A and B are shown apart, each in its own frame.
Chain A
């Protein structure tokens, strides 16, 4: 199997009385390859959750096609869903039941036994609290229980909508490590998130969605490399003098906080240090400028908004 999720020309409009329809997804194309962790990013209202709902047959697409694990959805959902674990938005479980009862009841639908329930509770670190009613759980605990429910089917594909919502930093780290582990086991983890630093550390590939369209997609390193400007950041005692000197040598220089940003490939950084040292300016700091996923996200979504 090549792609576990394939979306072509997906469009979703919500009709409104006497007003033009709201376009939630505007012709989305997306292919998610098998294995690893795939980050699905986008600002609020960009259509991430609607896309997930279309994939899982919860929402009927206005046009376009979706397929999951090689089968068209929603037509083949009955054969697809037993291999898919999903959290859509906040995990909604039954508050008057304990965590364990919730999982046992869900598991009973697919004839999953209690031993598997115990296993997934262990995986998400809820074994000690499994006997408490879900109504008493914190948001973070509900997220963990939702993740446990998604893992219950031992799925080939995990679709997780903001799985780190409500978790404390330690919980976020645990979830990150768990997702990486699940991806490394050969499963495909499709995770939508707005925690960009987390996505950068967790995901192998990303797609950035804005206003219902995919505006960037690929391996995280490739996407960042494509977007990175070749530049180094230079620390000096006298920034103005250094900037004049580098500019006089034909380099594009600008001040970035307490550093100089010099537009030069990192492999040529020695040229900068030599030039400055020859004129009595000694470098106190030198590092290649890296672009974070957050920078990239803000840049591309801002451009997209300007274009519209």
Chain B
């Protein structure tokens, strides 16, 4: 437990992590200001009005939860990769190993630290994101139609969204551990997300059920995808993602346990 707290403190001390949180807060504030200043377009009053029910559609997979999740996932990937990569660059991994020599324990603790922090920060930032729209709702919007069931669905969507941020952070952390480099990990993640996944979507749409993007898109709203050439369920999507996570964490742990820590 002590090691976990130490690792979490070290992670939040990273400059990049703090900058990413600050950038996210600025983004939330900007969205709040835009929402507040926006006036209803008479042509599309239903879409543009600050109606809570329309903006957040936790069960349908639409609305601001998609934007919030996207921003969180990108930030989580950058921070997760940075926390691992910077340790190798700075040589602090050597220092830590002279205090905590159990490599498997250390790596799994650090992985847990990345997951917990990303999840907690994700939940807080999503709440801030929602809170930023409150002035718009109060002045020229509405919260009507939101019942206990809707709030519960939104809460669960936030939890799943932050969970996906944690999953991506852990993936990025472990990929950076394998490559011992932040930039290499981010390039690998970007290449996978932008090139490989789009290639599969275009050439083998039936295999898209195995893609990270599709599975995340099913898990967050907990709803199957429409207009796709495969049938899958949110549960299957979550299991697929967890299998990927287990494989990457397993390989990274094995690699960290076996490889030399020579030079910084």
**Partner of B98 from A60, A86, A105, A108 at Cβ < 8 Å:** A86
**Partner of B99 from A50, A89, A92, A106 at Cβ < 8 Å:** A106
Instruction: Answer yes or no: A233 CB below 8 A from chain B CBs.
Output: no
User: Which of B168-176, B224-232, B256-264 lies at the interface with chain A?
Assistant: B256-264
Which A residues lie within 8 Å of B10 (CB)?
Answer: 94, 105
What per-residue 1/0 map shows which CB atoms of B7-40 lie under 8 Å from chain A? 0011001110000000000000000000000000
**Residue in chain A with minimal CB distance to B17:** A96
Q: Is the CB of A53 within 8 A of B99?
A: no
Interface residues of A in 263-301 (CB under 8 A from B): none
User: Which of B45-53, B86-94, B141-149, B237-245 lies at the interface with chain A?
Assistant: B86-94
What per-residue 1/0 map shows which CB atoms of B90-106 lie under 8 Å from chain A? 11111111111110000
**Residue in chain A with minimal CB distance to B15:** A96
Q: Is the CB of A96 within 8 A of B261?
A: no
Instruction: Answer yes or no: B138 CB below 8 A from chain A CBs.
Output: no
Q: Give the interface residue-count category, chain B.
A: 20 to 34
In Å, the complex CA distance between A91 and B14 comes to 18
User: Given that A89-B264, A90-B91 are known contacts, is A57 also in contact with B97, CB under 8 Å in the complex?
Assistant: yes
Instruction: Answer yes or no: A78 CB below 8 A from chain B CBs.
Output: yes
What per-residue 1/0 map shows which CB atoms of A78-108 lie under 8 Å from chain B? 1001001010111111111100010001101
**Residue in chain A with minimal CB distance to B99:** A109
Q: Is the CB of A93 within 8 A of B92?
A: yes
Q: How far is the CB of B35 from chain A (nearest CB, A)?
A: 34
Instruction: Answer yes or no: B3 CB below 8 A from chain A CBs.
Output: yes
Instruction: Answer yes or no: B2 CB below 8 A from chain A CBs.
Output: yes
**Residue in chain B with minimal CB distance to A84:** B98
Which B residues lie within 8 Å of A90 (CB)?
Answer: 91, 264
Which B residues lie within 8 Å of A101 (CB)?
Answer: 13
Q: Is the CB of B263 within 8 A of A89?
A: yes
Q: Is the CB of A58 within 8 A of B262?
A: yes
Q: Is the CB of A92 within 8 A of B91?
A: yes
In Å, the complex CA distance between A37 and B264 comes to 27
**Partner of A56 from B13, B14, B98 at Cβ < 8 Å:** B98
**Residue in chain A with minimal CB distance to B12:** A96
Which B residues lie within 8 Å of A81 (CB)?
Answer: 98-99, 101
Q: Is the CB of A109 within 8 A of B13?
A: no
In Å, the complex CA distance between A110 and B101 comes to 12
User: Given that A50-B262, A60-B260 are known contacts, is A88 also in contact with B98, CB under 8 Å in the complex?
Assistant: yes
Q: How far is the CB of A218 from chain B (nearest CB, A)?
A: 29
In Å, the complex CA distance between A77 and B102 comes to 8
Q: How far is the CB of A116 from chain B (nearest CB, A)?
A: 14
What per-residue 1/0 map shows which CB atoms of A34-69 lie under 8 Å from chain B? 000000000000000010010011111000000000
Instruction: Answer yes or no: B207 CB below 8 A from chain A CBs.
Output: no
Q: Is the CB of A111 within 8 A of B2?
A: yes
In Å, the complex CA distance between A59 and B14 comes to 27
**Partner of B91 from A60, A84, A89, A109 at Cβ < 8 Å:** A89
Q: Is the CB of A108 within 8 A of B5?
A: yes
Q: Is the CB of B13 within 8 A of A97?
A: yes
Q: Is the CB of A108 within 8 A of B2?
A: yes
Q: Is the CB of A106 within 8 A of B91?
A: no
Q: Which A-B residue pairs are the 4 nearest by beta carbons?
A: A92-B91, A77-B101, A58-B261, A59-B260
Given contacts A56-B101, A95-B90, 11 further A-B contacts (CB under 8 A): A14-B262, A59-B262, A60-B258, A81-B99, A84-B98, A88-B98, A89-B264, A92-B93, A92-B264, A94-B90, A106-B99
Question: Can you pick out 25 interface pairs between chain A and chain B where the beta carbons lie within 8 Å of each other?
Answer: A14-B262, A53-B261, A53-B262, A56-B97, A56-B98, A56-B101, A58-B260, A74-B101, A78-B102, A84-B98, A89-B263, A89-B264, A90-B91, A90-B264, A92-B93, A92-B95, A96-B14, A96-B15, A105-B9, A105-B10, A108-B5, A108-B6, A109-B2, A109-B6, A111-B2
Residues on B close to A: CB < 8 A? 2-3, 5-6, 9-10, 13-15, 90-102, 258, 260-264
